[in-house]
């Protein structure tokens, strides 16, 4: 009887301690749950991007940064602060970008990053709408006579580490039975240098990247981009899991640039639209509906984005349009009304 009673008391005590532990320890709260406030307290957005790809993110001779993705970083700053200059661009390699995001060293990735299931599910990233629809390509010497991937049998192919292009290269070549030797580099500068030095026979990355980097090569006309597209590469901004408000802000800033182009609102004429009686435009520009309040922003957030940075078409043409060295026809990056995939969700 004594033994049974002792055992009962021991079990009762253990159960009591276990219940106390469950009551005393709260559910973990994400350290990323108030990114917007962290950014405001800091006084600037830290945007993970790049400074080595003309047209997307490039360091100019005067020390300034410009590019398609740099403009989306600036658009986020305009939405948060009403000042597009309140942003620090943190250059990073493909391999380190998700680690920097998870560590909190950057607030958002806006760096030619492909939205994939694995990245969305396993790397703790939430992706905003794609800002650029791309596909993987291959660049070779013009005098090589190579016109197809199959003709790269036995070739050495330069590729970036930690990229979807590295995985796609392996999958596509394995699927076609093409033997090759990969030469992997941490950044695109090293890859291009190896290509020009003849250490590899070809280089693969997104076609937009090939177009951009060809402009910086010693003799651009010495190189040709093969016609074949090896993959789908929807490039999109990414934020950490765990902060829906910040995720919503990044999403809707992207949509605001799409919507502005749909309505014909530009940085030059946005003030004229302040007199519009179109309810959708009035909501976009913060004249009614308190759309900004719903995002924990001022109601003129989208007006500031458009006024200071521009609509999607302006951002595209400024960096990748026909008057630039990095001209890439819009194609899938046209508005849906023009046969493309750029489509704004309703801001209402």
HSE of 46 in the Cβ direction (CA atoms, 13 Å)?
16
- DSSP structure string for 51-117: SEETTTEEE-TTS-EESHHHHHHHHHHHHHHS-TT-EEEEE--TTTHHHHHHHTS-SEE-SS-B--H
CB under 8 Å to 195, separation ≥6 — which residues? 139, 158, 202, 203
Q: How many CB atoms lie within 10 A of CB 179?
A: 10
| Mean per-residue pLDDT over the chain, rounded | 91
DSSP H helices in 221-322: 244-263, 279-284, 291-294, 301-308, 312-320
Q: Percentage of the chain surpassing pLDDT 90? A: 87
- Residue 337 DSSP symbol: G
CATH 3.40.190.10 residue spans of the chain: 35-133+235-338, 136-231
Residue 227 has pLDDT above 70, yes or no: yes
- Residue 169 DSSP symbol: H
Higher pLDDT, 167 or 14: 167
Please give the average per-residue pLDDT across 180-201, as a whole number: 94
Instruction: Round to whole Å and give the CA distance between 238 and 206.
Output: 18
Q: Is 84 exposed, middle or buried (0-12, 13-18, 19+ CB in 10 A)?
A: buried
Higher pLDDT, 170 or 7: 170
Instruction: Round to whole Å and give the CA distance between 201 and 274.
Output: 56
Q: Percentage of the chain surpassing pLDDT 70? A: 91
Domain 35-133+235-338 CATH class label: alpha beta
Do 220 and 241 touch, CB atoms closer than 8 A? no
Residues in the chain: 348
Would you identify the CATH topology of the domain 136-231? D-Maltodextrin-Binding Protein; domain 2 (3.40.190)
Do 108 and 79 touch, CB atoms closer than 8 A? no
Please give the average per-residue pLDDT across 96-111, as a whole number: 96
pLDDT in tens, 265-278: 999 999 999 999 99
Please state whether the predicted TM-score (pTM) of the whole model is above 0.85.
yes
At residue 33, the pLDDT reads: 64
């Amino acid at each position: 009887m004594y033994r049974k009673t002792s055992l009962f008391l021991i079990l009762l005590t253990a159960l009591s301690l276990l219940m106390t532990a469950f009551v005393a320890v709260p559910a973990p709260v994400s350290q990323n749950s108030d990114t917007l406030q962290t950014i405001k307290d800091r006084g600037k957005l830290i945007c993970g991007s790049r400074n080595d790809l003309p047209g997307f993110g490039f360091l100019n001779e005067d020390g300034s940064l410009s590019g398609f993705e740099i403009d989306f970083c600036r658009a986020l700053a305009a939405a948060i602060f009403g000042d597009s200059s309140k942003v620090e661009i943190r250059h990073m390699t493909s391999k380190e970008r998700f680690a920097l995001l998870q560590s909190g060293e950057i607030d958002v990735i806006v760096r030619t990053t492909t939205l994939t299931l694995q990245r969305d599910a396993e790397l703790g990233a939430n992706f905003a709408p794609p800002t650029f629809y791309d596909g993987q390509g291959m660049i070779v010497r013009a005098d090589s006579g190579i016109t197809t991937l199959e003709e790269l049998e036995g070739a050495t192919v330069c590729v970036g580490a930690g990229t979807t292009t590295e995985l796609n290269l392996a999958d596509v070549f394995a699927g076609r039975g093409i033997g090759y030797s990969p030469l992997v580099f941490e950044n695109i500068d090293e890859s291009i240098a190896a290509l020009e030095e003849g250490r590899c026979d070809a280089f693969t990355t997104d076609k937009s990247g090939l177009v951009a980097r060809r402009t910086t090569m010693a003799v651009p006309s010495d190189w040709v981009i093969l016609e074949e597209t090896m993959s789908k590469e929807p490039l999109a901004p990414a934020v950490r899991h765990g902060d829906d408000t910040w995720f919503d802000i990044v999403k809707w800033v992207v949509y605001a640039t799409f919507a502005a182009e749909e309505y014909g609102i530009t940085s030059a004429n946005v003030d004229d639209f302040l007199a519009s009686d179109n309810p959708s435009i009035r909501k976009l520009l913060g004249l009614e509906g308190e759309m900004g309040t719903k995002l924990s922003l001022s109601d003129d957030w989208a007006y500031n984005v458009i006024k200071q940075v521009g609509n999607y078409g302006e951002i595209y043409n400024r960096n990748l349009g026909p008057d630039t060295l990095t001209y890439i026809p819009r194609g899938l990056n046209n508005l849906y009304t023009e046969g493309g995939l750029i489509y704004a969700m309703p801001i209402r």
